[in-house]
Amino acid sequence: MKDRVDAAILPQVASYYASKLELHGTTSQGVDWNGNASHDRRHRQFLRLLEGSSNASVLDLGCGFGDFLRFLRSEGFQGRFTGYDIAASMIEKARELFGEGEDRQWRIGSEPEEVADFAIASGIFNVKGDVPTEAWIDYVDDTLDILARAGRRGFAFNILSLSSDPERRRPHLYYADPVAMLRHCLAKYGRSVALLQDYELYEFTLLVRHPDRG
């Protein structure tokens, strides 16, 4: 199922985000967020997963032009960072902005080859375009499995929430039920799961820890 889902979805997703980067450059709008303040607020939710682990390695799936690396370094995190994105232009821009070295690498792709201490994904589940909802749900589920494998100690992701105001929702976006998603992650990945939906954005963040792998 995964190969069929990827073949239908990934080219559309890559094209969408490449067009945003071309139009808006290396800004929050260039990765389809509203502005810098909300962008950093989203980044900050992932710190709960990383707390006390300033030297841990991080893998960012759907890294865009690498803004999460900027944020982590500003917060004192010094561990190895690997960013993956399916849009080649995003990876080119990340390399231009941050370079590469022992502590930072950029790769084009949708499934990491390596494992890090923690894996995160920000915003990659939101824009479904004209993909049927059932196919998009399969894509989300498959990608969560990828994150679970890529994060040795845990993983985290955010997604637009059905708790948002109905009149603000858009047909090309995907909204998930936070309770259903929490239940899904508890059943599939273990009991160390936290749901964050108190940061005043129309989304939620889920943190999943693998205490048995630490």
Domain residue spans of the chain = 2-213
Contact status, residue 209 vs residue 155, Cβ threshold 8 Å: no
For the cut 90, the answer to whether the pLDDT of residue 12 exceeds it is: no
Average pLDDT of the residues in 39-54: 91
What are the helix (H) ranges across the chain?
2-24, 36-45, 47-50, 67-74, 88-98, 133-150, 178-189
Reply yes or no on whether the pLDDT at 4 is more than 50: no
> In terms of Cα–Cα distance, which of 61, 142, 66, 140 is closest to 97?
66
pLDDT band at 5 (very low <50, low <70, confident <90, very high): very low
**What DSSP assignment string belongs to 134-175?**
HHHHHHHHHHHHHHHHHEEEEEEEEEEBTTS-GGG--TTB--
User: What confidence score (pLDDT) does residue 170 get?
Assistant: 87
Q: Are 126 and 9 in contact (CB under 8 A)?
A: no
Distance CA 90, CA 98 (A): 12
- Position 168 scores a pLDDT of 80
| Res 51: pLDDT | 86
Mean pLDDT for the stretch of residues 62-83: 95
| Beta-bridge mates of residue 196 | 205
According to CATH, the topology of domain 2-213 is: Rossmann fold (3.40.50)
**What pLDDT score does 125 carry?**
95
CA-based angle 114:25:205, to the nearest 5?
50
- 207 or 213, which is more confident? 207
Print burial letters for 44-78: b (CB count within 10 Å at least 16), e (below 16): ebbeebbeebeebbbbbbbbbbbbbbebbeeeebe
Q: Is the pLDDT of residue 31 over 90?
A: no
The tens digit of pLDDT for each residue in 125-167 reads 999 988 899 999 999 999 999 999 999 999 999 999 998 778 8
Q: What is the mean pLDDT of residues 75-84?
A: 96
The more confident residue out of 21 and 94 is 94
**CB 181 within 8 Å of CB 159:** yes
Mean pLDDT, residues 88-100 taken together: 93
pLDDT of 1 above 50 = no
